[in-house]
Chains A and B, each alone.
Chain A
Amino acid sequence: MSHKKNHEDQKYIDGLVQNNAFVIQTIYDKFAPKVINYIKQNSGDVANAKDVIQETIITIYHQATEKGLQLTCPFDAYFFLLCKRKWLNQLKKRGKKEVTINEEVLSKDDDAQELAFETSLFEQQHSLFKDMFQKLGQACKDLLTATFKIKSMEKVAESLGVTYAYARKKKSLCIGKLTKMVQESPRYKNLKP
């Protein structure tokens, strides 16, 4: 965790966490036009921009609710970098090479670069965890879902018709299994900075 002072634009992050429609609207009004322009100038259209912006906001929401994202730079620079990277990655996947990368204009803010990098890592990690959780056996999935929804392990055991001791043990083994699956995935090695 860094100890840098939060930027005043943290209000956008807080608004997303609160699912505040005014704040979401403001983010679109203020920051979407630049992203739309960039994508249009780089082999994309408005529909691509819509998806990229939406996915980026969802990632920020996840990082903020799960990891308490603290903004140390202007939202504008951070948001634009994230959208830009997401779009360039999509272009790369489509095999399009003719991409204008105008790094000088964009890399003025080191804090923004750093934070956007952290967020991209978070996004990949989050999606890896999600995919691996889906691949987990049904018994583990059911038990973990019950465990994290219901606070008391006694009630979890009761609802699944197993003993308390078994439920507790099984919980740790299922989390252990998921941890191993994540670490053994080929995608995992790209996730450490």
Chain B
Amino acid sequence: MQDQDFILFEDYLSGYLSLEEKQAFETRLENDAPFNKAFEAYKETSGFLEHHIKNTAGTEAFKANLERVSSAYFNKQVPSKTKRMNPWYYSMAAAAILAIGFFIAQQFSSPVYDDFANYGTISLTVRGTQNNLTTKAETAFNNHNYKDAERYFLDMLETDKDNIELQLYRAVSLVELNKYDEADKLYNNIIQTPSVYKNKAIWYLALSKLKQGDEEACVNVLKTLPEEAEDYQQAQELIDKLD
């Protein structure tokens, strides 16, 4: 292909051609197979560049997020690699477990909120686009400073009121602050949406009920959690313990 062809391809793609030129170009595409093939190749390159260059920040943020989840997941797998222990330690460990088990059994006869409430760490900031408030909210939440976190989420929701992820984290913070009415209302709103956070909201709502001591409501909410939900197993465990 000649330079002239590339210039013509670009003019066509950028919409610089006049109506007549455009029609002539399209006719040639239909009748001239090598020309058509060269144009498709050019368009493909342009499409690649468009994505590759424009989405650099998005790709970086995705890779960072993925690395975080992946490392956390594989760190959990590590026990299979640990060294073999001296058999002598097993009896000591068994004795210790017995003692601890006895202690725990005395302390908690029924499942408590803290056994199940594990919200992990959240990640709201996207590299390159983070702003101060987002970082503050993320840090406060991850440090279990729910009082500040709740306030930051509320501020962020003022400009981004339909952001379901923020609503979910705000509700979690509210539960931690024992502000159940507001939290449950938020969860129920999220449950009504088709969002990806729907099942999380059901699970968290159940935890809120558990923390409020309303075991019956907790079980009723748990039973609405669909089987494909990530927390389904945990939910079944909790139902068993409460029944």
Chains A and B bind each other:
yes
Q: Give me the interface of A with B, judged by CB distance under 8 Å.
A: 11, 14-16, 18-26, 28-29, 32, 36, 46, 50, 53-54, 57-58, 61-62, 65-66, 126, 129-130, 133, 144-145, 148-149, 168-169, 171-173, 175-176, 178-180, 182-183
B residues near A14, Cβ cutoff 8 Å = 196
Q: Say which one of B25-33, B40-48, B82-90, B210-218 lies at the interface with A.
A: B40-48
A149 touches B3 (CB 8 A): no
B residues near A130, Cβ cutoff 8 Å = 52
Interface string of B63-99 (1 = CB under 8 A from A): 1011111100110010011000000000000000000
Q: A62 CA to B51 CA in the complex, in Å?
A: 9
Q: Give me the interface of B with A, judged by CB distance under 8 Å.
A: 1, 3, 5-7, 9-11, 14, 41-42, 44-55, 58-59, 61-63, 65-70, 73-74, 77, 80-81, 122-123, 126, 196-197, 200, 230
> Provided the pairs A11-B196, A173-B7, A179-B45 are in contact, do residues A144 and B58 lie with their beta carbons within 8 angstroms?
no
A57 touches B66 (CB 8 A): yes
Q: A57 CA to B196 CA in the complex, in Å?
A: 19
B residues near A21, Cβ cutoff 8 Å = 65, 68-69, 122-123
Q: How far is the CB of B142 from chain A (nearest CB, A)?
A: 13
Contact with A36, one of B1, B59, B77 (Cβ below 8 angstroms):
B77
B residues near A149, Cβ cutoff 8 Å = 53-54
Q: A29 CA to B67 CA in the complex, in Å?
A: 15
Most buried by B among A36, A54, A149: A54
Q: How far is the CB of A187 from chain B (nearest CB, A)?
A: 15
Q: A46 CA to B79 CA in the complex, in Å?
A: 12
Given contacts A129-B45, A171-B10, A178-B45, 10 further A-B contacts (CB under 8 A): A15-B196, A22-B230, A29-B73, A46-B74, A46-B81, A129-B48, A148-B49, A176-B9, A178-B49, A179-B45
